Amino acid sequence: MNSTNIHYLNVFLGSGAILLQVFSVAALLLLFFRLKENSRNFYLDFIDKHFLPISFVITFFASVFPLVYSEIINFLPCYLCWWQRVFMFPLVLMFGVAFWDEDRRIIRYALPLLLAGFLVSAYQNFFYYFGETSSLPCDASGVSCYQRLVSEFGGYISIPMLALTAFFSLLTLLAVAHFYKKDM
């Protein structure tokens, strides 16, 4: 791929990540700060009804695009990116089977993987954006995402931020699916 196509891919994924962040924060705000306890919300109803296909699509894209970056564009993953892949890749199959079987019990099986991946991703993002370069968890002399291979929207969107967005949005979907019906 040439650099122009890579830039357009980065902008496309970055725009999607920002939209996913906005929708996730809106869902969390609506879920936990509703004015009336017994009120129904169209947005939360939609998420609760369709959280399995939405989760499958997010995990699918969160698994395919890292492979595009590493196998096609040749941006090799760092140590922490590999750990995030370990927690994300099985979720594609889990959410695919749950979507096929319409099994809402996936929440209890997916939650440990999502939490572990989210913690690794939050740790990586903290050091990526706020850490000292001398104490980076990724070895800057070898494969490292601290080389800032993807930096869009003023540096806000990076490979670690894309991963954090995927884990955060999936955790948000599971929170809505688990808590929204219980308080009605």
Mean pLDDT score, 49-58: 94
Q: Are 95 and 106 in contact (CB under 8 A)?
A: yes
Asked whether residue 11 is domain-assigned, the answer is: yes
Q: Which DSSP string do the residues of 114-168 spell out, in sequence order?
A: HHHHHHHHHHHHHHHHHS-GGG-SS-TTSS-GGG-S--BTTTTB-HHHHHHHHHH
Q: Which tops the pLDDT comparison, 138 or 24? A: 24
One-letter identity of residue 171 = L
pLDDT band per the 50, 70, 90 thresholds, residue 167: very high
> What tokens does 139 get?
């070895």
Dist. CA 80–CA 3, nearest whole Å = 25
Tokens of 54: 């939405």
Q: 74-107 pLDDT, tens per residue?
A: 877 888 888 889 999 999 999 999 999 998 899 8
Predicted local confidence at residue 156, as pLDDT: 79
Alpha-carbon distance of 82 to 67, in angstroms, equals 11
Q: Is residue 169 part of a domain?
A: yes
Task: Work out the burial of residue 136: count CB atoms within 10 Å of its CB; fewer than 13 is exposed, 13-18 middle, 19 or more buried.
Answer: middle
Domain tally for the chain?
Answer: 1
pLDDT of residue 184: 47
Residue 101 lies in a domain: yes
pLDDT in tens, 148-162: 667 677 777 888 888
Could you tell me if 143 and 32 are in contact, meaning their C-beta atoms sit under 8 angstroms apart?
Answer: no
Q: Does position 133 have pLDDT exceeding 70, yes or no? A: no
- The first and second tokens of residue 160, run together, are 């670690």
| 184 domain-assigned | no
CA-wise closest residue to 31 among 176, 183, 184, 182 = 176
C-alpha torsion 8→73→153→171, nearest 10 = 110
Range of the domain at 48: 3-179
**Residue 179, pLDDT score:** 86
In this model, does residue 57 exceed pLDDT 90? yes
Q: Say yes or no to pLDDT of 123 above 80.
A: yes
